[in-house]
Amino acid sequence: MGLFEKLRNELIDIIEWLDDDRHTLVWRFPRYQNEIKNGAQLIVRPGQVAVFVHEGKLADVFQPGRHQLSTNNLPILSTIMGWKYGFDSPFRCEVYFVRTTQVTDLKWGTPNPIMLRDPDFGPVRLRAFGTYAMQCRDARALIQQLVGTDGKFEAEEVGELMRALITQSFAEVLGQSQIAALDLAANYRSMSDAVRKATLEKVDDEYGLDVPVLTIVNISLPEEVEKALDTRSSMGVIGDMGRFQQFQMGHAMLEAAKNPAGGIAGAGIGVGMGIGMVQQMGQGGFGMSAGGMAPPPPPGSAFHVAVNGQTSGPYSVQQLLAAGLTPQTLVWAPNLGNWTPAGQVPELAAAFRANVPPPPPPPAPPVK
């Protein structure tokens, strides 16, 4: 290869960027020691712009299309390099290709909870996350403020800055909106648009970037607040709490009846639930009446009952037995003087004996 052929091969005559990476924002053409010759072809594809930089100074910007480099389409560079009447010799210049299409599927989120004064819960902490798209609007500003001399500039390199600005904008919009935490889900769309506009004000002029799309995917409360909301929702589903308690006590009595050998503690719980159930029902029993006044003592013998350190009464023998009285339950009446186990009170002991099931029959005599 001759000397002139070698020099000819070192001259660049086609400048282009074939990109298959959707997250690259800026790519510098690898010139190395080669020089761009007069009349070289510059190919800028759709979704790109090309920016010429000479000795640290931004020069001409080319839009999509095929361009033959000459003095006519390099006015700024011609002025910098002193080409008044055109140029014939090769020149050295850096060429940056900038992506102008949207970079999608970028994610943002609040690294720390944001405090909010909620009308329902008071001060609460909220977390949020979502997605956004980024696009270059001004290639000059992007290269000057963020790229510098970087040969390949990825979207992730500006991702941390974008997430910080979006989080700041979200906190501002959340504080100004004064929307209750329970109503935030119904306002995701309007809040997303407000956060996008607030973020755009911070990055448009400063960095030459656009945020064409921003969405709020979820705003969540702390775990303890969510548990409290679940409990509150359960109470709303139950409705009448009094009727629900009656059902629960009745169910507990049935379970206690299935286990008659539950001991003194089980007997006390059964009696307490039985008495409490009758008091809750307030109909045909021995509890409080609908007007809140205690009914008159029942006729005949009247007993008070001590269950779990609390006393109630007076009750008749039939009412005590219906409530699940056991011989170990402590009762009191004026004629007893002291608290006495129900099995030691003659009147109640007789009632227990009357309720005792008969023993199994004797075995049949052997057949002779």
Query: Residue 33: is its pLDDT beyond 50?
Result: yes
| CB of 305 closer than 8 Å to CB of 311 | yes
Question: Counting Cβ atoms within 10 Å, is residue 186 exposed (0-12), middle (13-18) or buried (19+)?
Answer: exposed
Phi-psi region of 56 (alpha: psi -120 to 50; beta: other; left: phi over 0): left
For the question of whether the overall pTM of this predicted structure is more than 0.95, the answer is no
Whole-angstrom distance, CA of residue 219 vs CA of residue 217:
7
Q: Quick one: how far is CA 238 from the chain centroid?
A: 26
Mean pLDDT in residue range 336-341: 83
Specify the range with the lowest mean pLDDT, choosing from 268-272, 314-318, 331-335, 359-363: 268-272
**Tell me, what's the pLDDT at 282?**
46
The lowest-confidence range among 61-65, 86-90, 118-122, 237-241 is: 237-241
Per-residue pLDDT at 77 exceeds 90: no
* pLDDT value at 262 more than 50: no
Pairwise pLDDT comparison (363 vs 5), residue with the higher score: 363
With residue 351 as reference, give the H or E element that holds it.
helix 346-355
pLDDT in tens, 43-56: 999 999 999 998 88
Read off the pLDDT band of 177 (50, 70, 90). Answer: confident
pLDDT given at position 247:
63
pLDDT value of residue 141: 92
Residue by residue, DSSP assigns 264-319 as: HHHHHHHHHHHHHHHHHH-SSSSS--TTSPPPPPPSS--EEEEETTEEEEEE-HHH
Q: Which residue has the tokens 């299935």?
A: 258
- What DSSP character marks residue 85? S
Query: Does residue 257 surpass a pLDDT of 70?
Result: no
> Is the pLDDT confidence value at 7 over 70?
no
Residue 166 near residue 199 (C-beta atoms within 8 A): yes
Determine contact, residues 187/205, Cβ cutoff 8 Å: no
Cβ contacts of 339 within 8 Å, gap of 6 or more:
306, 330, 331, 332
| Residue 43 phi, psi dihedral angles, 5° rounding | -110, 115
Classify residue 144 by its DSSP letter: I
Residues contacting 181, CB < 8 A, separation 6+:
116, 118, 120, 121, 124, 126, 221
Burial track 100-131 (b if 16+ CB lie within 10 A, e otherwise): bebbeebebebeeebebebeebeebebebbbb
